[in-house]
Amino acid sequence: MSAGGNSDARGRRIATRGRPRPPAAPVEASAQDDVGVEARVVAGLLLNAALERRNGLDEALSQPPARALAPVDRAFARAVAMAALRRLGEIDQILDRRLNKAPPEAVRTLLRVALAQTLVLETPAFAAVSTAVKLAERDPKTRPYKNLVNAVLRGIGRDGPGLTTAESNLPDWLAARWKAAYGEAALAGIALAARQEPPTDLSLKPGVDPAAVAEGVDGEVLPGGSVRTGRRGDIAAWPGFETGDWWVQDAAAAVPARLLDLKAGETALDMCAAPGGKTLQLAAAGASVVALDRSAARLKRLEQNLDRTGLTAEIVAVPAEDWDDPRAFDAVLLDAPCTATGTLRRNPEVLRATRPAEVAKLADVQHRLLDVAAARVKPGGRLVYCTCSLEREEGETQVIAFLRRNPAFRTVPADPAAVGAPAEALTPEGWLRILPSMWAERGALDGFFAARLERTALG
């Protein structure tokens, strides 16, 4: 029996007592009945929605037929789709070795869903294969391929998947960019981080004891004070959630707000604030915070988290460039809209959704927003610019161009140790370029770029 769980007679994962270890999948849908088949249909729909469009997976999850599934089956369908997305290159490599010619897309989807279960989630092979064959039977488009599905999956089960490389999961154009920007070793590390389901990181309210939170969730305290746990499942049931002791935020995402080094009583503007992890940090530092975002819907999450944690911020739903308010601030944070390629561990769909043309389009938006942010900084005040992108056009290139057109600003070099960032993230210019290949021994972290700038007292 494994330390973290076992399977019952129907192939469902069941919990065992003792120190909880994250199961390979949060849950297994039932294998022998129509519910198990339906969950796998939805897994295929979610996978294809993610491959088709940005945010496709989340949108599809909130609509029928995913919404009609029981929570346990919906969680299973999501876990399968996420596993397939993380390992898509490897799964296709394995399939292509077995297929003489490309099958219809609906058949490939069935096979991808089945392999995500057997190779990643450790679903018993009999359950994954029998449901895949049942699925093939149900649809007239896939019915003629029923025997092929059976033969391919049984063949892989019998002979093993063969060798695959983590880098095959990365689109060629992104891998080429990252190799050119960060080198071969970093690219290999990014690929390894991208194929793992990441742990969950918690940022704590001031006064909350990190060691006690870590003990409550079987986690560890990271440099910088975030708590990291491999626990899965409903976070609302974890100790400290209801009492508002913490909020979920990747350890790298917690770095930029710390760079502002806010003091109690200072004023701060979070200019692209939603859903609000960084606003909570600014409020927790005792600052008087304005949280601004163009999306009222995304700001709802911030409102809920402020209520839960008892922290306060003034929320304004408006595009930053249209904000008709004369105030300037001691500290301004611009966490700009970006391709989000740095979040590939948590959102593997960004690998498929990001298009080369988007990088340039978003770089224009960032350029514009940086100038709007600069105009809100008091003389002598600080501006932190950050993005969760691995693309230099959305990080270094932006700051270089900004400093050229704004001589009143200069870089104040970051101290990685003081803000909980890996030491190797520090660039020669004093900015932070955090890569998902860093802290590999601790479970990695999201990719982020962050620069701390200061307006001269006279500027």
Binding site for ligand SAM (CB under 6 A): 272-278, 292-295, 298, 319-321, 335, 337
Residue 248 near residue 232, CB atoms below 8 Å? no
CA gap 38, 318 in Å, rounded: 41
Closest approach of ligand SAM to the CB of residue 238, in Å: 20
DSSP of 97-141, one letter per residue? HH-SSPPPHHHHHHHHHHHIIIIIS---HHHHHHHHHHHHHHSTT
CA gap 8, 407 in Å, rounded: 66
Decide whether 27 or 362 has the Cβ nearer to ligand SAM. 362
Where are the alpha helices (H) located in 9-70, listed in sequence order? 34-52, 56-61
Buried b (16+ CB within 10 A) or exposed e, 227-247: bbbbbbeebeebebbeebbbb
Closest approach of ligand SAM to the CB of residue 261, in Å: 17
Residue sitting closest to ligand SAM (CB)? 272
* Cα angle 118-199-430, degrees, rounded to a multiple of 5: 130
**What DSSP state is assigned to residue 429?**
T
Tell me, yes or no, if 388 is annotated catalytic.
Answer: yes
Closest approach of ligand SAM to the CB of residue 247, in Å: 10
Structure tokens at 440: 């590999």
Closest approach of ligand SAM to the CB of residue 365, in Å: 7
Closest approach of ligand SAM to the CB of residue 388, in Å: 6
Buried b (16+ CB within 10 A) or exposed e, 185-199: ebbebbbbbbbebbb
Decide whether 129 or 269 has the Cβ nearer to ligand SAM. 269
Closest approach of ligand SAM to the CB of residue 173, in Å: 22
Handedness of CA 359, 364, 367, 371 (dihedral sign): negative
- Pick the catalytic residue from 272, 338, 386, 388: 388
Decide whether 114 or 252 has the Cβ nearer to ligand SAM. 252
Decide whether 97 or 298 has the Cβ nearer to ligand SAM. 298
Closest approach of ligand SAM to the CB of residue 428, in Å: 26
CA gap 372, 85 in Å, rounded: 37
CA gap 351, 61 in Å, rounded: 19
Element (H, E) at 86: helix 71-86
Contacts of 187 (CB under 8 A, 6+ apart): 167, 170, 175, 178, 179, 437
Q: Which residue numbers are catalytic? A: 388
